[in-house]
Structure 1
Amino acid sequence: MNVFDFHATALDGAPIDLARYRGKVLLIVNTASACGFTPQYKGLEEVYRQFRERGIEVLGFPCNQFGQQESGSEAEIGAFCEKNYGVSFPLFAKIDVNGAHAHPLFRHLESEAPGLLGTERIKWNFTKFLVGRDGRVVKRYAPRTPPHALVADIEQLLAR
């Protein structure tokens, strides 16, 4: 099983088969609009614009599980991200990333790339997962890791 075996719902409610991204490098991130890390949207957009022509997709998954920092509706989330950070990469409907109602994609990401000391649970907003063109999870990055710090790893995957 790999990332391309999953489905998600776009911010506008449309069903998305992640197989549409087959052959691309993916940067999958759980996001929030009222978090200390929210300015990372700018860096994620920069990475997307810098590398999209070479085959990267940044996929943002809003989540309200950490400090209730994503309480808005999907429409409000989209408007906020576009207005404040110029986000043009795909955003998905709000999901849970931990617990009984965690989205299956994030269960998979967590098991394939555990965090510190082997813990699978996502600790906070803006945890990032880098996925190769084959749909396999390559690496997990902590929320504090800014998007520009992933550039060397992204370059390596895009060169393959």
Structure 2
Amino acid sequence: MELIQTIEQFAWIGWLVLILVFLVIEMLSLDFTFLMLSIGGLAGLGSDLIGAPIWLQIIIAAAVAAVLVLFLRPPLLARLRRGEDPTPTNVAALIGLSGRVLSTVSAHAGEVKLSNGDTWTARGDAADELEPGTVIRVSRIDGATAYVRPADLEGPRA
């Protein structure tokens, strides 16, 4: 019984440590989950300071954290991500890009220069060979190889 009384007497220290650990993890993850858990820990600390038993402190902390994670975190994440740039980047930005054939593109070999200035190893999507100077569009990227089609076979890039 003396152990339980000691735990209840110094529970505020445990709450403070838990809150600080959650805040440090939140600073590293920036996902709002651990922020909500630390606020739940703050509710547990508050209930400890007003004299609630340890079991009630834990229930209050868990309930507050669960409510915040389920109801406050999603709109906060949506608001945070609202300003993200929707422009495709990396490989996704190359899909649909136009260019010109530098060396004959077949199903097995070829080289193209894209409109962004990059030169890529290329393969043709169609069975026909594409001669140098042909205007092409990138249909997909596989590793370091661009799969291309003649530009006149597709509509304009969206």
Structure 1 and Structure 2 fold alike (TM over 0.5): no
Question: What is the TM-score when the length of structure 2 is the normalising length?
Answer: 0.20
Larger helix fraction of residues = 2
Q: Could you say which structure has the larger radius of gyration?
A: 2
Question: What is the TM-score when the length of structure 1 is the normalising length?
Answer: 0.20
